[in-house]
Each structure stands twice: as structure tokens, then as C-alpha cells.
Amino acid sequence: MNFAKLSTLTLAFAGLAAAASAQYGYSHYGTYSAENGIEIFKTHQRASVGYCLNFASATLTQHYRNQIDPPYVEYFGPQVDSTETRTLNTDVNYSWGAVGGMYLPLAKLSSKSILALNIDVAINFMQFNVGETILSKKLGLTEKIVGMNAGVPISIDFKSGGDAVLSKQYRSMFTFGIGANPCMYMMDYGPFVSSDESPFKMIPFVKAEVGIFAGIAFKLRGTAYLGTANYFDATEQNSTEMGPEGERPFDESSVRLVGKNYGYSLALLVMPFSWNWESE
């Protein structure tokens, strides 16, 4: 599946749907009550904010090689040309995020379900613990890889229940959506900063939500971010002048971090203005 095309098509459809809603929805949905239609103007009642945990797995490949002149082998160790590969998982204690947003109704599907355009603003952090890496006699590293992404996830959602029609009459709620997250993605690993690639990415995703109204609406959202995750691909070279003869010990390190996808998130959301939904 071409995820880049999927992301582009999703955003294009979202734009067309929003334009159609603006032209058609305001004249037809604006006067409806929660019982027989959609209250399009109560956007603040559709707002949500929340906290999320991020989960991801990736393969780290590290390569190290050096060139040591004989007088310095005793100190630097013998010449090395080694590659190490290991699977890393995010540290849940340092992999979290915050999200907030709202949605606009596009079409009424039934008395308690709608098709909606959802727009969020999200910032996420993650940390992969690398652990100890011994690449030569004198080089031992205990490192971590940290990352951050900030974006504006946009999706087309099917919604059913209380949040679809802004009514306390339906205490449960369900959402399924598909969309794309245009975002800035940055990674840091010791001397290696970010990646050779552009930090701007378009990451497609699917999500599902379940919720309940208990004074205000609470929702649990699970999101899967699709497409191969090229987190990191960088190289560093060092050549240092040593000794009266000007010998130049040389070393080169490269790291590559790749995941089968961009991981998953689990978010707890609240809709702070849902206390003012229709009672009937």
C-alpha cells in the first residue's frame, strides 16, 4: 500500500468535505436540535483534550570502524570494524504526549450518528533505551535515543452516540476514523542529531474511540500510525592528529533506526464542555 498517496487522498477528501459542509451544512444543519439533526454551531461542545502514552518498536543498527596506527594500538585497542543490531522498544515512562482538538459534522447518517471532520493539535515524546554498547576496547556507550513530533492530525470520522449529536440521552459513544498527520519529527542520539531525511513527514493513521458520559464525556482513543518509520540514519567521522609524527587515528560511526510502523498511542480524552449537552 502506498501510504503517501493514502495520506494525500485523505487530506484532499477532508478539504472537499469541509468545503461541502460549509456550503451545505450551515443552511441545513444549523437550525436542527440534537433530536432531529446536527447542531453545527456548538463547536466548543465538541472540543476534547487529553493525555496519551506512546508505544513503538524499531531496529537499531550501529556500525563502527577505526584505523589505528601501531604506536597507539596499546591505548586505543586494535583496529575494529564491527556492526551490531538490536531491537528497541519505547520506555513508557518517557514516551507520552498531549492532544487537543475538535470536529465538525459533515453529514447526518442516522438519529445518533454522523460523519465528521476531526482536527487535532498534538505533541508527542518518545525514548528508546539503547543500553550498553561495546564497540571497541576503549569505547563503551550507555545511551538513549529521544524523539519528538508535533503535528496537526486530520481525519474523517464515523461517530455514533452522545458526542455525535451532543446529547446526554446517549451515554455511550463510539468513533472510527482514518486520516493523516502532517508533522515535524526530530530524533537525537548522542553526537547524532536528527536524521539525514527532512524532519517534515506525513504519517497516515487509523483510530478508534469508545466513551461514556458521566457528568462530562470521557473517551479512550487508540491510534495506529502506518508506514515504514525511518527514524534515524546518520554518520559521524572523526580524525584527530596524534603524536609528533602527525599520525591521524581515524574512526567512523553510523546508526540507523527503522521501525515497521510509527507505533501506537493510547489516549484518555475529556470533553470539558459536554456538561452543557442537551438533556433530552
In this predicted model, what pLDDT tens digit does every residue of 35-79 receive, in sequence order?
Answer: 444 555 678 899 999 999 999 999 988 877 776 666 666 666 666
Residue 63 pLDDT:
79
d(CA 147, CA 225): 15
Report CA 239 to chain centroid distance, whole Å.
38
Is residue 187 within 8 A of residue 232, CB to CB? The reply is yes
With b meaning 16 or more CB within 10 Å and e meaning fewer, what string describes 60-83?
A: bebbbbbebeeeeeeebeeebeee
Domain ranges of the chain: 3-276
Lowest mean pLDDT among 12-21, 137-146, 187-196, 255-264: 12-21
Residue 142 pLDDT:
61
Residue 96 pLDDT:
96
Residue 152 pLDDT:
97
One-letter amino acid of 129:
N
One-letter amino acid of 42:
K
d(CA 154, CA 152): 6
Residue 21 has pLDDT above 50, yes or no: no
Is residue 70 within 8 A of residue 279, CB to CB? The reply is no
Residue 240 pLDDT:
54
| Average pLDDT score over the chain | 79
Beta bridge partners of 200: 184
191 vs 196, higher pLDDT: 191
Is residue 170 within 8 A of residue 123, CB to CB? The reply is no
What does the block give as the cell for 168? 446526554
Residue 143 pLDDT:
79
Residue 144 pLDDT:
86
Kindly report the pTM of this predicted structure: 0.77
